[in-house]
Every structure is written in C-alpha cells, then in structure tokens.
Structure 1
Amino acid sequence: MSTTLKLALVQSSLHWENPEANRKMFSEKINSLSEDTQMVVLPEMFSTGFTMSPQNIKESEGPKTVKWMQKMATDCGVALVGSIVFSENGKNYNRLYFVHPDGTFQQYDKKHTFTLAGEDAVYTSGNSKLIVEYEGFRLCPLICYDLRFPVWARNVEDYDALIYVANWPKPRIDAWNTLLKARAIENMAYSVGVNCIGEDALGYKYPGHSAVYDALGNQVVFSNEEGICYAVLDKEHIDFNRNKLKFLQDRDEFSLK
C-alpha cells in the first residue's frame, strides 16, 4: 500500500459552453503530465464553464465527457476528478466524477447549489457524500459552494483528504483561501482546491488560487497562474499528527436531516 499520492492540479481557463474544445484542451494538458502523476484534478464544470443554461448543452455531451474521462484515465494510468453538466430524466446535475485508472468511476452530485447565481433553480441538488478509496487514501470530493458548509464536510468518515473542484470568482477569493485552510485544520486532513482562471463569457473573473493545505493547515502548494502544479499527499503526515494531537477524537456527534 502506498503512503504517498502525487496530484496534478490543472488550473485552466475554460471554453464557454464548448465541451469538445475543453476536452481537446484538457487532453493536451493531461498528456503532458509528469509520468509519476497518480491523480489529476480538474475545475468545476470543466467541460462548459459555470453555465446556468444547461439547455445549451446537448444531453449527449454528459456521457461523451464521461467516456472521455475514462479513456484519459486508462490511457494515462491516472485517476481523473472533475465535475460536469450532466442531464438525465429531465433533470440537470452539477455532477463530479472520480474515474479510476481502470475506467471504473464513482459520482457525486453537488449538495449545495449556488443560490446567488440561481444554480438551485436549474440543477438538482445531491444528498449524499462520496468517500473514495484510492492508492491507500480515503478521499472526499466536493464541489465549490460546498466549501462554505463545514458540517457537510466534517470528517466523520476518517478520510485523508478533501478535494474541492471550483469556479470561485475573484471578488470572494479571500474566502476561498481562508476556508480551504480551515477545512484542513478542523478535519486534520489535506484540503485540496482546484479553481479555474481567466474570464468567462458572462464577464466573471476567476483568479485561480488552486492550493493544497496539509493536516495542520500549512500550505503545500499554491498557484495564481494558468498551468499545472503538483503536490504530494503523505499518509504518514496524517497518521503522525492525528496520533500525536488526537483532535478528531474530541469531535462532536451529530446527524444531518
């Protein structure tokens, strides 16, 4: 069982409502990764940008992008993580896929849809967390606005890392920085956040600030430029500090309605 996990955080601008162009762009980026990369994290709605008009995206594009993720994961021997617009049975979802190197996948529908942008009116909210077992690590992938809700992210499953994919805009980027660090400290886990960068078709600007914080809240990596940055998660770091400090043993018990 591995004690480390090497991540590639792909911080990129996005082609607005153009899945084909985004798949092509990310194919080139993923094919350029370091050979020892084990997991690749893409932004929220990486195939379209943060669109509130899912009707502009053909329903066939969701399954097509999932198949693309499977092919990239198997061809490159990596796990691939990111959320997309997915439509089925008359409903739209902001759905995250965690695709394993063998092509199998798990999925998570965004729990906290972003009411300020009207996401709650066009996308159906999920109601269950996802814990992924990968390379000896327990991972909890979440989406953007979920970052503001510590109860939903609370580490009751003894996961090793939170993975946030996002389209987090410039005016509130200080909240992104602060909350990513806070989620790491309070859960004694790595906190990984991958944001997009650039300006979308609606004029919203995204500054990046993709980052990784360790279980003590120390910044492992940070970027405010377009490109790929790497980080290594260390299981021994988590185990040592949890055994030494034992903060999680004092966590409150609660239930979600």
Structure 2
Amino acid sequence: MKVAAIQMVSGISLEHNLTQAHELLDQARHAGAELAVLPEYFCFMGARDADKLLIAETPGLGKVQDFLSDTARELQMWIVGGTVPLATDDPSHAANASLAYDPSGRCVARYDKIHLFRFHDGQQGYDEAAVLKAGERPVAFTLTDHAGHDWRVGMSVCYDLRFPELYRQLQADILLVPAAFTYVTGQAHWEVLLRARAIENQAYVVAAAQSGTHENGRRTWGQSLVVDPWGVVLAQQATGPGVVLAELDPVHLAQIRQRLPALQHRRL
C-alpha cells in the first residue's frame, strides 16, 4: 500500500490552507497513495495560540470537517486530518483532534492529543495547555487496502512522540505522527524519536510535518518522512510544502516480526 505524508507551511488564512491541502492531497492520489496524512494544524496556524478557539468546530459539523470528508470521497482515499480544533464543554479550551476519514467520506476515528507541549528555552516558549484540553485515551482503527489487507493504524500527534508507552498500547502496524515540531526540538530529536518508535514497535511510521517559517513567526522543523519497521527511512522531504510517498509492505512487516519476535518477548 502506498502512503503519503503531506508537508505544509500553514498560515492564518483557513481558505488558503485548505486550498493548499487539497492540491497536495490530489498530488498524492495521482501518485497512487491510498492513505494520506496531513500535518498538525494543517488548517490553521493563528497569530496567537488563542486564535484556534475562534475556529474551533462542533464535532461532526464544520468547514474543515466537511473539507476532509468531501475530499476523501472525491479522491477515494483514506485521509487523516493532522489536527482540527474541536469545541469542548469549556469555551476557553479546544481539543486538538486528529480525524480519520475513509474513502466514502465517513469519519472512522477521532484522537484527541493526550500530551500537551510545554517548552521554554529563554527565547521562545509554548504552553498548549493554556488553550487546549488534553485527550484521555489511545485510538486505533482498521484500514483495509485495495489488496484486501487489514492494517491496524495507531494515531498520535506531535509531542506524543516522546511518550513510548502510548505507542505500546496502540499495538499497531502503522503509527501516524502528524506534527508541528519546533525547529529547535526537531533538529535535535525528530528523526531519532520517529525511528525509535518504529524499531521498538516493529511498525511503519508515517510522520507528516509543518515545515518553514509561518506568518505568525513560528519556525517549524519539517522533515516529513516514512520509516519502516526496521528503522529505515524510506522517504523524506526536508523543508517546504510537498508529498512524501512510500510503499508499505505487509510481507516485510511480518518477516521482521517473525525474524526478531521482540513484541512476543515483552515481560513488562
């Protein structure tokens, strides 16, 4: 099965972001991708963190959710909308939700980011908990590809990458990591963490990232990539908008798990 990690440099215009996302998804479909993953905040990178509350949608209803559903149906492709701000029962906090749609346009899974990023290096600082409500449970779904093979797909978002216990619980064949890693933390840790999650879970990893300097002044690392279960980077793009394509092979996955049955050897 061919997959695509979509890399973007999202800005403050919702319309422009959705137009860019559609163009990249269309490229992925024409290249043969059955699954495409958009980055975290693909639809909106506001001037300030609280701006995402202004576009937070009611679950199941809204422009961005309609876009994801309609585009999945139009392109006949599985699409994971990196993250979408969804309203919660607290108007001062939104959920940072990753939404998966099947080729019929049906939303088959919703994962709310569990681990909220906080970072300060003396020059720049972030505290997602100021406007986001943390999720509470891991989420995975089953994707049946054109060849009839079932894949268990585990969902995560950005900062979740630093918490390996989440990925153990997912017990997935494919791990998704839509992200907007900062330039500083991405340069230091992004690739090594992704390869570690692939190796220790003997799973494919599809990581779709924001990449570049955004209108709000934030700089994201990029390097969207796909990693195989042995930790080999199959494809990647350093910076700028683009489509990172790779082929996932269920036979290769099974061979690695059979050759080195580490997942069966767990004691804790």
TM-score, normalization: structure 2?
A: 0.86
- What one-letter code is carried by the residue in structure 2 that aligns with 1:73? A
Question: 2: distance between equivalents of 1:87 and 1:145?
Answer: 21
Alignment-derived partner of residue 63 in structure 1: 62
CA RMSD of aligned residues (A): 1.8
Q: Say whether residues 1:15 and 2:14 are aligned partners.
A: no
Q: Say whether residues 1:250 and 2:259 are aligned partners.
A: no
- Give matches, 1:34-113, under 5 Å: 34=30, 36-49=32-45, 52-54=49-51, 57-60=54-57, 63-81=62-80, 82-89=82-89, 90=91, 91-105=93-107, 106-113=109-116
Per the TM alignment, residue 49 of structure 1 is displaced from its structure 2 partner at its CA by: 2.1
- Give matches, 1:179-194, under 5 Å: 179-194=193-208
CA distance change for structure 1 residues 209 and 221 in 2, over 3 Å: closer, same or farther? same
Alignment-derived partner of residue 180 in structure 2: 167
Q: Does the 8 A contact of 2:113 with 2:156 survive in 1?
A: yes
- What one-letter code is carried by the residue in structure 1 that aligns with 2:100? F
Partner deviation per Cα, 1:75-116 (whole Å, 9 max, x = no partner): 000011121112243341110001111111110000001122
Alignment-derived partner of residue 25 in structure 2: 30
- Give matches, 1:99-248, under 5 Å: 99-105=101-107, 106-116=109-119, 117-135=126-144, 136-154=150-168, 156-173=169-186, 174-226=188-240, 227-248=242-263
Matched residues, number: 247
- What one-letter code is carried by the residue in structure 2 that aligns with 1:85? P
- What one-letter code is carried by the residue in structure 1 that aligns with 2:114? K
Per the TM alignment, residue 55 of structure 1 is displaced from its structure 2 partner at its CA by: 5.5
CA distance change for structure 1 residues 12 and 58 in 2, over 3 Å: closer, same or farther? closer
Per the TM alignment, residue 35 of structure 1 is displaced from its structure 2 partner at its CA by: 5.0
Per the TM alignment, residue 161 of structure 1 is displaced from its structure 2 partner at its CA by: 1.2
SS across alignment from 1:32: helix
CA distance change for structure 1 residues 29 and 55 in 2, over 3 Å: closer, same or farther? closer
SS across alignment from 2:68: helix
Question: 2: distance between equivalents of 1:25 and 1:42?
Answer: 11
86-95 or 143-152: which moved more?
86-95
Q: Percent identity?
A: 28
CA distance change for structure 1 residues 158 and 202 in 2, over 3 Å: closer, same or farther? same
SS across alignment from 1:47: coil
69-78 or 83-92: which moved more?
83-92
Per the TM alignment, residue 129 of structure 1 is displaced from its structure 2 partner at its CA by: 0.8
TM-score, normalization: structure 1?
A: 0.90
Per the TM alignment, residue 216 of structure 1 is displaced from its structure 2 partner at its CA by: 0.9
CA distance change for structure 1 residues 55 and 139 in 2, over 3 Å: closer, same or farther? closer
